A and B are shown apart, each in its own frame.
Chain A
């Protein structure tokens, strides 16, 4: 039936993550550092709140934009945490995960003939969704600057047809974060080129070098930015499928128009659970972040001990060490690490340009497992060095 599939979908390459997943599935006794989700489950009080709403039968559709209680909590949260004010009734939309928010934002902002700047390496959905919108993803390399986005790199990549910059800091897969100072020149650039920024801030809470920032907190970017976020990472709620976007009322209204016909609303139970997370779960987030930070330090110390170069990740729960010095491609390295070392890490090239020569290691796994994984990696790279030509 292949001939029925539209060329636009056919043109999207198969997911590199998926291929690696199949390989990992077929291997035994592997410790996986390939997991892109928290190892915590949502705190009991959050799950309990969800059960409570189920028991009381609060299971009807919610308003398209989401429960007003939740939008108000999100507005409050954005204000408390990032100092940005959003009107809950017109500038916040609750979505099915950050994923849907990315999809909606791109759908209402770009079409055939438009270009989208995508700083890479980055999260794997941005380029395919851009393609689905008929627009063209233009990769912007960040590898030369410690995985931080610069105006120079943007200037090199920008086209007259560029409408959107789709950024993700703290970054999946590199763990890089950006400071307000680093955003300032980009704000000027966006204004000058009349570009809208979609800022995926789903990992914002997981920032280890100071307070998290939102791109929208730069006054000149407030209306030019669609902030995409969600509960999956900061509140350990991946399977609940609940996220949101905040932005200028015109953009949010357009996103709502698409959302109401394609999704109706985000899952009701998950919305109530999200309300509980924001009302009483912020201390849980702090506890989880402290724990990720410990594991981040441990992994970095271990990499240093095995002589593996790694840019210090200051956000998310990923480390992105360089492995090019072993004389293998990242795919070869990851495959051999899996088969010989019994550790799964994702080849960096699946995350786009600049990812090659690196592997993504998620440290969202228990200290016990991480300890074993690091011992195995140590043994693996030691063996690799022996076989390397001088």
Chain B
């Protein structure tokens, strides 16, 4: 990764809608250079996707997120990868992490309501072969995600004109 690519990533993770022209101006580079750098990041799947961070609870208060700790027996030769894949292919699953410590996978699941998630865990997750146990924790409120604070608390407090 070049220093330029690093700066581009910082600017795009702040706001993915910044276009090549703006990036070039901010970084003092030619647009062509910036375009190539972004292209390389996309090709290498360093930039995976340009997505929108939503605070769903604003429009859908019923919607719930749960974090599920899963313990399982690893598969000979493949470890946890196959089982992780088995889980992340479910659209309900928002993220899957392999963890160190007391459990193996941390699975984030989203559902329309509590029952949805309960059903998903009992009928889909727990029944996966080699799953030993699950522990489900419901998220009550999301304060910050991926470095983005949901409640805008940094209103510009400055006076409009100062020396």
Question: Interface on A for B, CB 8 Å cutoff?
Answer: 15, 17, 20-21, 24-25, 30, 32, 34-37, 39, 41, 123-125, 172, 294-295, 297-298, 301-302, 344, 346, 365, 367-368, 371
Q: In residues 48-81 of chain B, which contact A (Cβ within 8 Å)?
A: none
Question: Are A35's CB and B159's CB within 8 A?
Answer: yes
Question: Are B163's CB and A17's CB within 8 A?
Answer: yes
Question: Are B160's CB and A25's CB within 8 A?
Answer: yes
A to B contact number (C-beta, < 8 Å): 58
Question: Are A302's CB and B161's CB within 8 A?
Answer: no
Cα–Cα distance between A124 and B159 once the two chains are bound (Å): 17
Question: Shortest distance in angstroms between B155's beta carbon and chain A's nearest beta carbon?
Answer: 11
Question: Are B163's CB and A297's CB within 8 A?
Answer: no
Q: From B11, which residue of chain A is reached at the shortest CB distance?
A: A294
Task: Return chain A residues, CB-CB under 8 Å to B18.
Answer: 367
With A294-B26, A368-B15 as given contacts, are A123 and B163 in contact (CB-CB < 8 Å)? yes
Cα–Cα distance between A298 and B18 once the two chains are bound (Å): 12
Q: In residues 94-122 of chain B, which contact A (Cβ within 8 Å)?
A: none
Question: Are A37's CB and B161's CB within 8 A?
Answer: no
Cα–Cα distance between A103 and B27 once the two chains are bound (Å): 39
With A34-B161, A36-B163, A124-B163 as given contacts, are A371 and B22 in contact (CB-CB < 8 Å)? yes
Q: Does B162 contact A (CB under 8 A)?
A: yes
Q: From A299, which residue of chain B is reached at the shortest CB distance?
A: B25
Cα–Cα distance between A181 and B159 once the two chains are bound (Å): 38
Cα–Cα distance between A38 and B15 once the two chains are bound (Å): 20
Q: Which single member of B7, B26, B160 contacts A367 (CB below 8 Å)?
A: B26
Question: Interface on B for A, CB 8 Å cutoff?
Answer: 7, 11, 15, 18, 22, 25-28, 154, 156, 158-163
Question: Are A17's CB and B162's CB within 8 A?
Answer: yes
Question: Are A301's CB and B25's CB within 8 A?
Answer: yes
Task: Return chain A residues, CB-CB under 8 Å to B25.
Answer: 297-298, 301-302
Question: Are B160's CB and A30's CB within 8 A?
Answer: yes
Question: Are B15's CB and A17's CB within 8 A?
Answer: no
Q: Which single member of B11, B15, B26, B159 contacts A297 (CB below 8 Å)?
A: B26
Q: From A32, which residue of chain B is reached at the shortest CB distance?
A: B160
Main secondary structure of the interface of B (DSSP, over half): loop
Task: Return chain B residues, CB-CB under 8 Å to A17.
Answer: 161-163
With A41-B154, A367-B15, A368-B15 as given contacts, are A35 and B160 in contact (CB-CB < 8 Å)? yes
User: Can you identify 15 A-B contacts, CB atoms within 8 angstroms?
Assistant: A17-B161, A20-B161, A21-B162, A24-B160, A24-B161, A30-B160, A35-B158, A35-B160, A35-B162, A124-B163, A294-B27, A298-B22, A344-B160, A367-B18, A367-B22
Task: Return chain B residues, CB-CB under 8 Å to A172.
Answer: 163
Question: Are B158's CB and A39's CB within 8 A?
Answer: yes
Task: Return chain B residues, CB-CB under 8 Å to A36.
Answer: 162-163
Task: Return chain B residues, CB-CB under 8 Å to A123.
Answer: 163
Question: Shortest distance in angstroms between A28's beta carbon and chain B's nearest beta carbon?
Answer: 11
Question: Shortest distance in angstroms between A93's beta carbon and chain B's nearest beta carbon?
Answer: 23
Query: Can you name 11 extra interface pairs (CB under 8 A) apart from A15-B163, A21-B160, A371-B22?
Result: A17-B161, A21-B159, A21-B162, A25-B160, A32-B161, A36-B162, A294-B11, A297-B26, A297-B28, A302-B25, A365-B156
Cα–Cα distance between A41 and B15 once the two chains are bound (Å): 20
Cα–Cα distance between A301 and B154 once the two chains are bound (Å): 28
Cα–Cα distance between A39 and B160 once the two chains are bound (Å): 11
10 nearest A-B residue pairs (beta carbon): A34-B161, A21-B161, A294-B26, A301-B25, A32-B160, A36-B162, A298-B25, A297-B28, A124-B163, A24-B160
Question: Shortest distance in angstroms between B98's beta carbon and chain A's nearest beta carbon?
Answer: 30
Cα–Cα distance between A298 and B26 once the two chains are bound (Å): 5
With A41-B154, A367-B15 as given contacts, are A34 and B26 in contact (CB-CB < 8 Å)? no
Task: Return chain A residues, CB-CB under 8 Å to B154.
Answer: 41
Task: Return chain A residues, CB-CB under 8 Å to B15.
Answer: 367-368
With A298-B22, A301-B25, A367-B26 as given contacts, are A346 and B156 in contact (CB-CB < 8 Å)? no
